[in-house]
Amino acid sequence: MGSAAALRELQRELETKANDLSKLQKDIGKNHQVRKKYTIQLGENELVLKELGLLNEGANVYKLIGPVLVKQDLAEANANVRKRIEYISAELYVSSYLVNWRFFAIFLLFNISHLVSWKYELR
Protein backbone atom coordinates (compact mmCIF):
# COMPACT_ATOMS: atom_id res chain seq x y z
CA MET A 1 0.00 0.00 0.00
CA GLY A 2 1.39 3.36 -0.98
CA SER A 3 2.17 6.10 1.45
CA ALA A 4 -0.65 8.31 0.17
CA ALA A 5 -3.17 5.47 0.41
CA ALA A 6 -2.03 4.65 3.94
CA LEU A 7 -2.38 8.29 4.90
CA ARG A 8 -5.95 8.41 3.50
CA GLU A 9 -6.81 5.24 5.39
CA LEU A 10 -5.40 6.73 8.59
CA GLN A 11 -7.35 9.93 8.03
CA ARG A 12 -10.61 7.97 7.52
CA GLU A 13 -10.02 5.93 10.67
CA LEU A 14 -9.23 9.02 12.73
CA GLU A 15 -12.29 10.87 11.38
CA THR A 16 -14.47 7.91 12.33
CA LYS A 17 -13.02 7.89 15.83
CA ALA A 18 -13.45 11.67 16.11
CA ASN A 19 -17.12 11.34 15.11
CA ASP A 20 -17.59 8.58 17.68
CA LEU A 21 -15.95 10.77 20.31
CA SER A 22 -18.18 13.71 19.43
CA LYS A 23 -21.29 11.54 19.72
CA LEU A 24 -20.20 10.27 23.13
CA GLN A 25 -19.57 13.82 24.33
CA LYS A 26 -23.07 14.86 23.21
CA ASP A 27 -24.53 11.83 24.99
CA ILE A 28 -22.71 12.82 28.18
CA GLY A 29 -24.14 16.34 27.90
CA LYS A 30 -27.68 14.99 27.47
CA ASN A 31 -27.13 12.61 30.36
CA HIS A 32 -25.99 15.50 32.54
CA GLN A 33 -29.25 17.34 31.86
CA VAL A 34 -31.28 14.24 32.76
CA ARG A 35 -29.26 13.76 35.97
CA LYS A 36 -29.81 17.41 36.89
CA LYS A 37 -33.58 17.02 36.41
CA TYR A 38 -33.71 13.83 38.48
CA THR A 39 -31.53 15.31 41.23
CA ILE A 40 -33.91 18.25 41.56
CA GLN A 41 -36.93 15.93 41.60
CA LEU A 42 -35.28 13.73 44.23
CA GLY A 43 -34.69 16.73 46.49
CA GLU A 44 -38.27 17.91 46.06
CA ASN A 45 -39.69 14.47 46.85
CA GLU A 46 -37.46 14.05 49.90
CA LEU A 47 -38.70 17.41 51.15
CA VAL A 48 -42.33 16.32 50.58
CA LEU A 49 -41.65 13.11 52.52
CA LYS A 50 -40.25 15.13 55.45
CA GLU A 51 -43.28 17.42 55.37
CA LEU A 52 -45.63 14.42 55.34
CA GLY A 53 -43.75 13.05 58.35
CA LEU A 54 -44.62 16.19 60.32
CA LEU A 55 -48.37 15.69 59.86
CA ASN A 56 -50.69 14.08 62.40
CA GLU A 57 -52.34 10.78 61.47
CA GLY A 58 -55.72 12.37 60.74
CA ALA A 59 -54.39 15.31 58.72
CA ASN A 60 -55.89 16.08 55.33
CA VAL A 61 -53.53 15.62 52.40
CA TYR A 62 -54.33 16.78 48.89
CA LYS A 63 -52.70 15.80 45.63
CA LEU A 64 -52.76 18.05 42.59
CA ILE A 65 -54.04 16.08 39.59
CA GLY A 66 -54.25 18.40 36.62
CA PRO A 67 -56.16 21.50 37.76
CA VAL A 68 -57.91 19.67 40.64
CA LEU A 69 -56.84 19.02 44.24
CA VAL A 70 -57.87 15.49 45.23
CA LYS A 71 -58.00 14.35 48.86
CA GLN A 72 -55.57 11.53 49.58
CA ASP A 73 -54.98 9.28 52.57
CA LEU A 74 -51.76 10.16 54.45
CA ALA A 75 -50.45 6.58 54.27
CA GLU A 76 -51.16 6.46 50.54
CA ALA A 77 -49.41 9.79 50.02
CA ASN A 78 -46.37 8.53 51.95
CA ALA A 79 -46.29 5.33 49.89
CA ASN A 80 -46.56 7.24 46.61
CA VAL A 81 -43.75 9.62 47.51
CA ARG A 82 -41.52 6.74 48.63
CA LYS A 83 -42.14 4.95 45.32
CA ARG A 84 -41.24 8.11 43.41
CA ILE A 85 -38.04 8.44 45.44
CA GLU A 86 -37.14 4.80 44.68
CA TYR A 87 -37.80 5.31 40.97
CA ILE A 88 -35.81 8.55 40.78
CA SER A 89 -32.92 7.03 42.76
CA ALA A 90 -32.84 4.06 40.37
CA GLU A 91 -32.81 6.40 37.36
CA LEU A 92 -29.92 8.37 38.89
CA TYR A 93 -28.00 5.12 39.43
CA VAL A 94 -28.53 4.07 35.80
CA SER A 95 -27.56 7.53 34.64
CA SER A 96 -24.31 7.39 36.65
CA TYR A 97 -23.54 3.98 35.19
CA LEU A 98 -24.08 5.28 31.65
CA VAL A 99 -21.84 8.29 32.22
CA ASN A 100 -19.07 6.07 33.57
CA TRP A 101 -19.42 3.74 30.60
CA ARG A 102 -19.25 6.66 28.17
CA PHE A 103 -16.13 8.05 29.83
CA PHE A 104 -14.57 4.61 29.53
CA ALA A 105 -15.56 4.50 25.85
CA ILE A 106 -13.93 7.91 25.34
CA PHE A 107 -10.77 6.59 26.99
CA LEU A 108 -10.80 3.59 24.64
CA LEU A 109 -11.40 5.75 21.56
CA PHE A 110 -8.54 8.02 22.55
CA ASN A 111 -6.19 5.06 22.91
CA ILE A 112 -7.41 3.44 19.68
CA SER A 113 -6.76 6.71 17.85
CA HIS A 114 -3.20 6.70 19.17
CA LEU A 115 -2.75 3.09 18.09
CA VAL A 116 -4.02 3.92 14.60
CA SER A 117 -1.57 6.80 14.27
CA TRP A 118 1.30 4.65 15.60
CA LYS A 119 0.37 1.95 13.10
CA TYR A 120 0.84 4.52 10.34
CA GLU A 121 4.17 5.68 11.76
CA LEU A 122 5.48 2.12 11.83
CA ARG A 123 4.84 1.64 8.10
| Cβ atoms 99, 28 nearer than 8 A | yes
Q: Give which of 13, 22, 43 is closest to 118, Cα–Cα.
A: 13
* Closest alpha carbon to 24 in 107, 91, 94, 116: 107
Q: What percent of the chain has pLDDT over 90?
A: 46
User: What is the count of structural domains for the chain?
Assistant: 1
- For residue range 78-97, list pLDDT tens digits in order: 999 999 999 999 999 988 88
Cβ contact 31:98 at 8 Å: yes
What range does the domain containing 25 cover?
Answer: 3-122
Rounded to two decimals, the pTM is: 0.70
Q: What is the CATH number of the domain that holds 88?
A: 1.10.287.370
Percentage of residues in the chain with pLDDT exceeding 70? 89
**In angstroms, what is the C-alpha Rg of the chain?**
25
- In the prediction, which pLDDT does 78 show? 95
Report pLDDT digits (tens) over 16-35.
877 888 888 888 888 889 99
Inter-axis angle of helices 74-122 and 3-53, nearest 10: 160
